[in-house]
Amino acid sequence: MPTRTAYDDELGDHFARHADTSPYNAYVDRPAMLALTGDVGGDVGGQRILDVGCGAGHYAAELLSRGAEVVGIDGSSTLLDHARRRLGDRADLHRHDAEDPLDFIDDASFDGVICALMLHHVANRRQLLGELRRVLRPGGWLLISTTHPTADWRRFGGSYFTDDWVDLPLAGGALSIRYQRMTLETFLGELLDAGFSLERLVEPRPVPSLRDVDEAAYHKLRQSPSFVAVRFRRP
């Protein structure tokens, strides 16, 4: 079980810096998730979007630039400080632990929800998914990305079907993040059980521009999956 889900203090500062240019964040997950946002052609203009685990505000900044209204929540005061410096007063940001109900948010009050690379940190995922369904309007969309179960299997070994909590050392080894491994069956099953309808699943590859920045990382990430990104709809 996790002792914490938020990236606070030194870990939060590290993540905020890393997410700016990391091949995994800036060239794989973020482009894939943003391509799945909104409706036809990725249009989010005029939509109200909840960014769950908003981190340092990278996704919110892009959604705002496309004309969305964004509410962001994160359990880390460190990351929210970074987000406020990036976004100013353009987004409504709240410190909130994703293990707790979203009781400050009204029913059916959002057109879309984005939840990038944070669900695997949450122990009470079923409660969170139920809350996300509640705050979405009928017909609203939900985007979630998580670690690819095959990548975790290659990294940690053991049984593919384990649901162990693991610690992943970050660059240099002094810091680590803790999350729960889950199979693709578990990941999709929990979302379907929460009452969402699957529209699309992608296994993100790096965008071509990474080749000019880090050719070795580009070829590595073209050959081995890192994340799974899905788009669901609330019926």
- Report whether 96 contacts 74 (CB < 8 A): yes
What does the pLDDT read at residue 174?
81
**Is residue 211 situated within a structural domain?**
yes
Residue of 212, 205, 157 lying closest to 28 (CA atoms) = 205
Phi and psi, residue 172, nearest 5°:
90, -25
- Alpha-carbon distance of 182 to 79, in angstroms, equals 26
Tens-level pLDDT at each residue, the chain (235 residues): 444 567 888 888 888 888 999 999 999 999 999 999 976 567 899 999 999 999 999 999 999 999 999 999 999 999 999 999 999 999 999 999 999 999 999 999 999 999 999 999 999 999 999 999 999 999 999 999 999 999 999 999 999 999 999 999 986 678 899 999 999 999 999 999 999 999 999 999 999 999 999 999 999 999 999 999 999 999 9
Whether residue 3 is contained in a domain is answered as no
Q: What CATH number should be reported for the domain holding residue 190?
A: 3.40.50.150
Whether residue 4 lies inside any domain: the answer is: no
CA-to-CA dists, residue 101 to 124, 133, 181, angstroms: 10, 12, 23
Strand 176-180 to 136-147 pairing: unpaired
Residue whose token pair is 């993040």: 177
Give the per-residue pLDDT at 2.
42
**Residue at 78 is within a domain:** yes
Q: Is residue 20 part of a domain?
A: yes
Q: Is position 2 within any domain? A: no
Domains identified in the chain, total number: 1
What pLDDT shows up at residue 1?
42
* Cβ neighbour number for residue 231 with a 10 Å cutoff: 20
- For residue 14, what pLDDT is reported? 87
Model-level pTM? 0.95
What pLDDT score was predicted for residue 127?
98
Residue type, 198: L
Residue 60 in contact with residue 128, Cβ under 8 Å? no
Look at residue 1 and tell me if it is in a domain.
Answer: no
> Which phi and psi (to 5°) does residue 200 adopt?
-160, 145
At position 213, the amino acid (one-letter code) is V
Query: Quick check: 110 and 72 in contact, CB under 8 A?
Result: no
Structural domain including 104 reads 9-233
